[in-house]
């Protein structure tokens, strides 16, 4: 199948997105050196890089929220055959100073049952991890739904989680229906369907609302969740390639063209995100002003973007994130 393209335009050159810092009880007050941010009030646990309320920071789209851009300019951003009116992916950095609640997300079918646009399948890429860092992915083998309920009521569910050690560079897939939790010790890049629906099943005694019935309905005893081994190609490493997203780590010795970046695409629209996991770069091309790509920043590459190049300005660790077709059709 030929790749679907829409006519390129300098008006839809790549643009950097300003992050949104989200307060969480389990987060940090000082995000340095990862982000130059210190919390004014409650701790910050999530940095949303592509949330609907995020704002374009550069180019012709500067000052506009992503939900407005995707709603008004679907074809330019997603491609002519794409459905939906918002960004198909929500990309975050998770910084947990304390344990996140034990939670589960619905799949698409259950989300539609309750009038939600989509479910939430996600993955975590470890940008950094301390020795002994762990995440909880799934439940212990052989446990039943009734035993899960009893463990919630007796405040012992933590003992029934499947714990995985995590190190920098690990990729963990968390498909919808997987009971999971993030524990302290790692900095995670989270890529997920653009949905923030979460059913909190257990919270270690913290006085926050639980969603036990919803969680029990959403959870699946057997899922595909777990660590994903990378696939090394000649010019990049595919960290994960599943139903809703593909994530690649692309080395940039000095510079790389947009054509070289998109070589693995075959039938997807041209929308992509470029994330600087470390180091710095620039994105430049004819007809638009060069864009800085500092550490932990993200650039949106619309389907209608003209040709461009990414240049390594020092130790750039470039992550390319692309939505898959199913993510556009919901």
- 193 touches 243 (CB < 8 A): no
Nearest by Cα to 175 from 109, 135, 226:
226
- 95 touches 187 (CB < 8 A): yes
Contacting residues for 15 by C-beta, under 8 A, at least 6 apart: 56, 57, 58, 59, 60, 61, 62, 291, 299, 300
- 194 touches 251 (CB < 8 A): no
Nearest by Cα to 111 from 208, 194, 200, 212:
194
- 227 touches 295 (CB < 8 A): no
Collapse the DSSP code of 212 into the 3-class scheme (helix H, G, I; strand E, B; otherwise coil) and give the result: helix
d(CA 156, CA 59): 52
Identify whether 200 is a catalytic site residue. Answer: yes
Q: HSE-up of 251 (CA within 13 Å, CB side)? A: 7
CA-derived radius of gyration, the chain: 20
Q: Which of 16, 74, 118, 200 is flagged as catalytic? A: 200
d(CA 110, CA 156): 27
Taking the CB of residue 41, how many other CB atoms lie within 10 A of it? 7
Taking the CB of residue 223, how many other CB atoms lie within 10 A of it? 21
Q: So which residues are the catalytic ones?
A: 200
């Amino acid at each position: 199948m030929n790749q679907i393209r829409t006519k390129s335009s300098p008006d839809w050159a790549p643009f950097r997105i300003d992050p949104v810092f989200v307060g969480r009880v389990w987060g940090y007050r000082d995000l340095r050196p990862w982000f130059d941010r210190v919390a004014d009030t409650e701790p910050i646990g999530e940095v949303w890089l592509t949330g609907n309320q995020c704002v374009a920071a550069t180019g012709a789209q500067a000052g506009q929220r992503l939900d407005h851009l995707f709603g008004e300019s679907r074809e330019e951003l997603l491609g002519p055959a794409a459905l939906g009116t918002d960004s198909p992916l929500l990309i975050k950095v998770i910084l947990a100073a304390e344990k996140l609640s034990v939670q589960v997300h619905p799949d698409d079918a259950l989300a539609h049952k309750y009038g939600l646009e989509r479910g939430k399948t996600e993955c975590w890429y470890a940008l950094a991890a301390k020795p002994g860092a762990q995440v909880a992915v799934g439940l212990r083998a052989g446990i039943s739904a009734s035993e899960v309920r009893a463990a919630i009521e007796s405040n012992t569910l933590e003992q029934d989680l499947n714990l995985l050690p995590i190190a920098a560079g690990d990729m963990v897939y968390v498909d919808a229906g997987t009971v999971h939790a993030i524990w302290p010790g790692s900095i995670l890049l989270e890529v997920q369907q653009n949905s923030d629906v979460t059913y909190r099943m257990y919270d270690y005694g913290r006085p926050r609302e639980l969603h036990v019935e919803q969680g029990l309905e959403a959870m699946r005893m057997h899922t595909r969740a777990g660590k994903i081994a990378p696939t090394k190609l000649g010019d990049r490493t595919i960290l994960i390639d599943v139903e809703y997203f593909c994530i690649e780590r692309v080395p940039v010795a000095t510079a790389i063209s947009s054509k070289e970046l998109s070589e693995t695409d075959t039938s997807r629209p041209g929308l992509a995100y470029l994330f600087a996991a470390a180091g710095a770069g620039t994105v430049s091309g004819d007809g638009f002003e060069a864009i800085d790509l500092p550490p932990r920043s993200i650039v949106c590459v619309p389907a209608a973007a003209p040709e461009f190049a990414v240049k390594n300005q020092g130790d750039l660790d470039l992550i390319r994130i692309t939505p898959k077709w199913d993510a556009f059709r919901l």
